[in-house]
Amino acid sequence: VKSEGPKLVPFFKATCVYFVLWLPTSSPSWFSALIKCLPIFCLWVFLLAHGINFLVSHRSASRILAGLIFSAVGDAFLIWQEQGYFIHGLLMFAITHILYSSAFGMKPLDLKAGLLMGFVSSSCYAFLYSYLSGPFTYLVAVYIALIGFMGWRAVAGMQLRNDLWTWTKLSACIGAMLFMVSDLTIALNKFCFPVPYSRFIIMATYYAAQMLIALSAVESRDEEDFRKRS
């Protein structure tokens, strides 16, 4: 907390600015896009503050940074989702989940966690299916599969049973779960029925998720030691 907390102060300030201004979504603009993306920009700075050499030499950290970049682009597209850019935002976040999954890695495999996440993802899609039409029928299916896979890799990295977990692995796990909550709320609100306080729920869980996933990148410093303990 002492070493990483000060680097996150700009992120917390930018998040407060977003919630204080609370710009209306009915009139999208480049200014509202900037305010929405500003916390994510601050997470770029958080990772860059660890040094370019650190990012270049640790693929997990660099992939999380790349995921944050695609997230910001996705956020900008979603500002204009009513003007036909929702699918563009969906694509950007799909790429983000691929990058995060790659950053979390495939070891340990933990098939039980995979089956659990598969069941949760399948249940969510089964509920949404009757509300979907046209290209969203398969686009949402692919997206849910990708975010479910990302969630699996984050949960698998915890290794609770082997007592090998770290606070950064816990950050990745909680961050992935919050990301799923945020995206499920978006899907329910867009395709099914109005969700009370949907925008607040979506953005609060989204910003928290991104911060926690960004925090998990600092585990890359001890990657070799972690593998030895595994």
Whole-number pLDDT of residue 229? 45
Q: Give pLDDT tens digits for 95-151.
A: 999 999 999 999 999 999 999 999 999 999 999 999 999 999 999 999 999 999 999
**Distance between CA atoms of 205 and 167, rounded to whole angstroms?**
19
Give SS3 for 136.
Answer: helix
The model's confidence at residue 211, banded by pLDDT at 50, 70 and 90, is very high
Q: Is the pLDDT of residue 47 over 90?
A: yes
Give 111's contacts (C-beta < 8 A, 6+ positions apart). Answer: none
Q: Give pLDDT tens digits for 1-41.
A: 678 889 999 999 999 999 999 999 999 999 999 999 999 99
The model's confidence at residue 219, banded by pLDDT at 50, 70 and 90, is low
Instruction: Provide, rounded to the nearest whole percent, the portion of the chain with pLDDT above 70.
Output: 92
Q: Is the pLDDT of residue 228 over 60?
A: no
The model's confidence at residue 158, banded by pLDDT at 50, 70 and 90, is confident
Q: How many CA atoms lie within 13 A of 189 on its CB side?
A: 14
Whole-number pLDDT of residue 220? 47
Whole-number pLDDT of residue 112? 93
Q: Any idea where the domains of the chain sit in the sequence?
A: 4-228
The model's confidence at residue 162, banded by pLDDT at 50, 70 and 90, is low
Whole-number pLDDT of residue 2? 73
User: In angstroms, how far is the first alpha carbon of the chain from the final one?
Assistant: 25
The model's confidence at residue 165, banded by pLDDT at 50, 70 and 90, is confident
Question: Is 0.85 topped by the overall pTM?
Answer: yes
- Span 71-90, mean pLDDT? 97
DSSP state of 157: T
- Span 52-64, mean pLDDT? 92
**Distance between CA atoms of 51 and 213, rounded to whole angstroms?**
18
Q: What is the total residue count of the chain?
A: 230
Q: Give pLDDT tens digits for 179-193.
A: 999 999 999 999 999
Give 154's contacts (C-beta < 8 A, 6+ positions apart). Answer: 100, 104, 172, 173, 175, 176, 177
Whole-number pLDDT of residue 3? 80
Longest Cα separation, the chain: 53
Give 68's contacts (C-beta < 8 A, 6+ positions apart). Answer: 40, 43, 44, 47, 96, 210, 214
Whole-number pLDDT of residue 1? 66
Whole-number pLDDT of residue 101? 98
